[in-house]
Each structure stands twice: as structure tokens, then as C-alpha cells.
Structure 1
Amino acid sequence: MTADFVIEITTKTLELTILIAAPMLIFGLLVGLLISIFQAVTQIQEMTLTFIPKILAVVVALIIFFPWILDKLINFTYNLFLNIPVYIGKF
């Protein structure tokens, strides 16, 4: 197993991980920003106010993007298994 091969697989895996996590993180960030603006305008400084809406936003994003995430994961895994003979040949 060469270092280039390991770096290539690791890079692809990390790119997929970031791509899959991005929708939930963006939804959580946007909801957190909106709640922070609301707290600044109303001068409500309750720290626990942000948790439930952020959790709900992440769950909604997961429900919305789950088919896309599943498709990405299945394609990645399929290509990984399909190329096992190629990977063995690299040794």
C-alpha cells in the first residue's frame, strides 16, 4: 500500500464527510444567527434559548437532505467495493 493511495482514499473520504455534514451545519448556523439577532434586538440574554431551535433545524435539514446523503454514501461505498481489484493491483 503506497502513501499516495492512502492519501487519495483519505482525501476522498474527508471530502465526502464535509459534503455530507455541510447541510446540517449550515442550517444550524443560520438558525443560531437568527436567534442571536433576535436576542440582540429584544435584549433577552438566555443561553438555553438557542439549543432547541438549533437541534430542530439540524433534524429538519437531515430529513430534507437524507435521500441525497444516502445516495452519496451508497455511490462512494459502491465505487470503493467495485475498485477493490484495482486497489489490490496497486500493491
Structure 2
Amino acid sequence: MMTIDIAGDIMATGIRLVLLISAVAILPSLIVGLCVSVFQATTQINEQTLSFLPRLVVTLAVLIFGGRWMLTQLVDFTVQLFQQSAALVG
């Protein structure tokens, strides 16, 4: 039987997984953006591509190298969710 506690645990696990996966994708981009901003502030170069291109490259690299792990985490969560739903219904 599905109770509010079980539904809350499932939602909390899903939200935690989304935060983990998005943090893995976003944090390297934020760090590179900060480094580029400091570089631009010290050299007074205000080129838009200088701030955009390194973040894009880092984000794509993280998605290429970490995409398999991210997909595995999502698939494992989905399989676990379906296994739990079968046990909760019957």
C-alpha cells in the first residue's frame, strides 16, 4: 500500500538524483566561468566569445565523459522505481 511516507521518500530520492546529476553538469561550467571572469577583469578584455566558448566546451566535455554515469544513475533509479511500484500495488 502506498502511503504518504513512501511517496515522500520516492520524491526525495528523485529530487536528490536530479540535483546530483545537474550539479555534475553545471559545477565545472561555473568554475570555468569564474576563472574566465577573473581573467577578463584583470586584463580588461571584454570579448563575449571568450566568456561563452570555454564554458560550452567544458559542459560538452563533462556530458561526453560523464554522460554514461548519468544515464546509468537514471536507469537504475527507474528500474528501482518500477520494482517498488510492483511491490506496493500487489
TM-score (norm 2): 0.85
Provide the rounded CA distance (Å) in 2 between the counterparts of 1:19 and 1:66: 13
Unaligned runs of 5+ residues in structure 2 are none
Note the alpha carbon deviations across 1:53-86, whole angstroms, 9 max, x for none: 2122111100010111111111111111112222
- Find out whether 1:14 has 2:53 as its counterpart: no
Aligned residue pair count: 89
Provide the rounded CA distance (Å) in 1 between the counterparts of 2:84 and 2:49: 48
Say what the alpha-carbon RMSD is for the aligned residues: 1.6
Q: Which residue of 2 aligns with 1:40?
A: 41
- Find out whether 1:67 has 2:68 as its counterpart: yes
Q: Which residue of 1 aligns with 2:3?
A: 2
**What fraction of aligned residue pairs are identical, expressed as a percent?**
38
Unaligned runs of 5+ residues in structure 1 are none
The structure 1 segments of at least 4 consecutive aligned residues displaced by more than 4 Å after TM superposition are none
TM-score (norm 1): 0.84
